[in-house]
Amino acid sequence: MSLHTFNPVPHCPGERVMPLAPLLTLPNGQRWVAQHYLRYQHTLQSVSALLAQIDFDAHTALFAGQDAGGVYLQVGLIGRENYDRSNTLRAYKLVYGRKWRIDADTPTSEIIQTAFLAIKKAREHEVRELLTVRNAAGQTSAAFSNHHDLPLLAQQRSALQPATKPAAGLTDELAVLRFAQRRITLLQQVDLAGERVLLDLQLGPAPLARQLEGDLPEFAELSFSVILPRGAWAQLPYAIMDALIAHSDRHVDETFRFRGFARFSRANSIQAIAALSLHTRPYARDLADAQFAQIFRANNYEVDASRAPALGQGALAEKNQRLIGQFADLLGHLPQGYAQAPARQTA
């Protein structure tokens, strides 16, 4: 049976329990307040305390900060200069990812997951710079890098279409690609049904200087597979990039820990997670208490309303006005300044 309490101990800093929130009894007998019955008022101090309980690796730091835009978290990566492809040992360098904003009412679990995503995206940024393409003159470019001039690419779109000359073969496509100065070799090719082909690939050994540096050991002589439409070898660099990013993401899944728990590891039982989630959501029982139901719904409405942006002015506002206007009787909270009637309140 759930019991009402006005002052249970919050699970983490920045949390407050809703008045009359019911307590759960977990399968192990522990008492708990479900996160959807908490209110959040996170600060720089509470976000810092949460990030201090996250572990990843010896080359990744998490920072919490605050500026005129509010509280944010940020990833710092300690590694080598990706664009230095010399045969000498390179000094370590500390680089920073983008700032990820944290609203005060962000649930604790979402802050932890934001740190998880920030690490993934910071690593993806580095991985994209490491897959390079060599042209006929022997020049090397990080074609998948995020540093390209997008307005220029849009202006030059016609020049970016595939050449009309005969398409390069599989061997030729692989020959011009490197990942962190490693060759990519074909182990085997398997024809599949439906005009598709499976390629088993492997990263070769790194140059001696890169081996001595020992960076990104999770990619050392990595074997991986990609699937392409038969003969569509021009898509191979994209498929390889997807596979390398997926490998980086899986490394984060298994390595990221909060309070020592690898939440995103595939060693966890998804059935057990589902069972625990269902156990913590007996809404029909909890909302049978009319007084608490009013508090719960009012809190949810207040949080959702606070997240609605302003429509603004100019071309973007006009574009969004037309987009939203296509949907009649739209539920949810419409942008502030939107011309139609405000959204109805929902449970």
Strand ordering across the sheet containing 93-102: 60-67, 70-79, 93-102
User: Contact, 119 vs 60, CB < 8 A?
Assistant: yes
Tell me the pTM: 0.91
- Is 4's pLDDT higher than 80? no
Structure tokens at 37: 């019955």
180: closest CA among 76, 88, 84? 84
Quote the pLDDT of residue 113.
98
Quote the pLDDT of residue 161.
85
Quote the pLDDT of residue 33.
93
Single-letter amino acid code for the residue at 4? H
Quote the pLDDT of residue 215.
87
Average the pLDDT over 221-247 and give the result.
95
Q: Where are the domains of the chain?
A: 133-145+167-253
- Is 39's pLDDT higher than 60? yes
Percent of the chain surpassing pLDDT 90: 84
- Is 8's pLDDT higher than 90? no
13-25 pLDDT, tens digit each = 999 999 999 999 9
Which SS3 state, helix, strand or coil, does residue 138 take? coil
The count of C-alpha atoms lying within 13 angstroms of the C-alpha of 42, restricted to the half-sphere facing its C-beta, is 28
118-133 pLDDT, tens digit each = 999 999 999 999 999 9
Band (11; pLDDT cuts 50, 70, 90): confident
State phi, psi for 245 to the nearest 5 degrees: -65, -40
Quote the pLDDT of residue 3.
46
